[in-house]
Amino acid sequence: MAPTIRFSETVLREHALAIWSAAVEAVRPEPLVAAAVLDFPTAWQAALRAAPRVLVVGCGKAGAAMAAGLETGCEQYLPKLSGLVNVPEGSTRLLQRLRLNPARPAGSNHPTAAGVAGADEMLELLAGAGPDDVAICLISGGGSALLPAPAHGITLEDKQAVTKLLHASGATIAEMNAVRKHLSRVKGGRLAAAFRGKLLVSLIISDVVGDPLDVIASGPTAPDPSTFADALGVIKKYGLTGKVPASVSRLLERSGDKGEPETLKEQPPHVHNLVIGNNAVALAAAARRAGELGYGVLNLGAFIEGETREVAAVVVGIVRSIRSNGQPLAMAACLLIGGETTVVLGDQPGLGGRNQEFVLAALNRLGTEHMLGVCVLSGGTDGEDGPTDAAGAVATIETLTRASAQSLSPREYLDRHDSYSFFDRVDGLIRTGLTDTNVTDIRVVLVTQLDA
């Protein structure tokens, strides 16, 4: 039997951060986009060479870095490039040919008039394409809010009112998407439908579990399986017919064969969607780094969903099994968990996000009895966790020591969903700033024995 590798508590924390950072580094948009363009099929390369113009549009938290990577990958075609990408404020930079449009404030996920203006400009750019022009669309997480374009006769405030009503009614994400796509001029494949040139390639960094093309940024270049009838059915299902703005009801009721065109239903032969980065890519990089640091790795994959505390409870059970009987792997062990969980908030929640709540929930369950030799880290790869300036949190036994010295109860902070306030007081927050990428979350849990 191999001897157990021992690390100090300080080293455990350093290792967890290094493993998480390796995951984020693997999905940096600039090299991903540059490599993707250089690896385009021969026919696409020929279209680029022959194109009078290469039109660029896009949206998302990774948009600025993706645009920079595109300029690098298209260096030989640089004079042909023109266009813009909607990005969050704070992520803009000066590029050679492309323009970055700050479409929403940093730390916010609400669509703005600036986002609408950018979307209008993109639609006009694509609609004016010549027969031999090529378009490249850059899409990443957060793109839905960054690329708002209300349907004709609908205001941005109308769409926001509908979204708020659907949230309060308990509508599923699929139901909400069905409605939002049919109240938009870009979502549900409508952005691709505006293009009449030779070739449109969408390069996509996915922030959605399973990488469904119609869901990522609400699918501006992907076919939409939902219909106007589905959208109207959602409104009726939740008793919102008399509550949504009258303009919304009018639009949905005169849809389809009554004049309003449907969302895109079939992929046009000249439109191609290519996922170049996702949670699985990040997890694989994290696993490689953990192995280099001496850990056995159990990668639980990119499809983890569910309520945050329940997922944390399962992970804690695995940690205890590793410590008790070396199953499902022996120490020193690294658990990697991807995907994206949810948090069900109470009436008066505190401050935090799903990653900070995951760490606090695990810390609360493990306690001083089981936390010794364990490090728990969870972080959003975009550098934003909820409405905070933190990407997530990290905890070791020292976290409990500091909490005890200040009479802080993990359970009390957990009960009021105030994980940010807890970790801010015990030096447990991970603050990276915007990372310019977004492939959901990466959790790193290390289990070993401490040096004496």
pLDDT digits (tens, 9 = 90+) for 426-445: 999 999 998 888 899 999 99
Q: What is the pLDDT of residue 138?
A: 98
Which pLDDT band holds residue 3 (cuts at 50, 70, 90)?
very low
Are 226 and 192 spatial neighbours (Cβ–Cβ below 8 Å)? no
Which pLDDT band holds residue 408 (cuts at 50, 70, 90)?
very high
Q: Where are the domains of the chain?
A: 6-25+280-447, 28-149+184-227+262-277
| 320 has pLDDT over 70 | yes
Give the least confident one: 37-51, 165-179, 278-292. 165-179
CA dihedral sign, ordered 395, 388, 275, 172: positive
| 6 has pLDDT over 90 | no
Give pTM, 2 decimals: 0.88
Q: What is the pLDDT of residue 449?
A: 79
DSSP state letters, 35-97: HHHHT--HHHHHHHHH-S-EEEEEESTTHHHHHHHHHHHTGGGGGGEEEEEEEETT-----SS
Q: Return the residue matching tokens 């639009």.
A: 251
| 255 has pLDDT over 90 | no
Q: What is the mean pLDDT of residues 169-191?
A: 89
Q: What is the mean pLDDT of residues 315-329?
A: 94
Using CA atoms, how far apart are residues 443 and 187, in angstroms rounded to an integer?
31
Q: What is the pLDDT of residue 291?
A: 97
Q: Can you state the angle between helices 246-253 and 156-169, rounded to 10 degrees?
A: 90
Q: What is the pLDDT of residue 1?
A: 39
**Residue-averaged pLDDT of the chain:** 92
Assigned architecture for domain 28-149+184-227+262-277: 3-Layer(aba) Sandwich (3.40)
For residue 332, say if its preceding peptide bond is cis, omega within 30 degrees of 0.
Answer: yes
CATH of 6-25+280-447, one of 3.30.1330.10, 3.40.1480.10, 3.50.50.60, 2.60.40.10: 3.40.1480.10
Write out pLDDT tens, residues 73-119.
Answer: 999 999 999 999 999 988 888 899 999 999 887 766 778 899 999 99
Q: What is the pLDDT of residue 452?
A: 46
| 307 has pLDDT over 60 | yes
Residue 200, helix vs strand vs coil:
strand
Using CA atoms, how far apart are residues 102 and 92, in angstroms rounded to an integer?
7
The C-alpha R_g of the chain, in whole angstroms, comes to: 23
Characterise 99 by phi-psi region: left (phi > 0), alpha (psi -120 to 50), beta (else).
beta
Write out pLDDT tens, residues 34-83.
Answer: 999 999 999 999 999 999 999 999 999 899 999 999 999 999 999 999 99
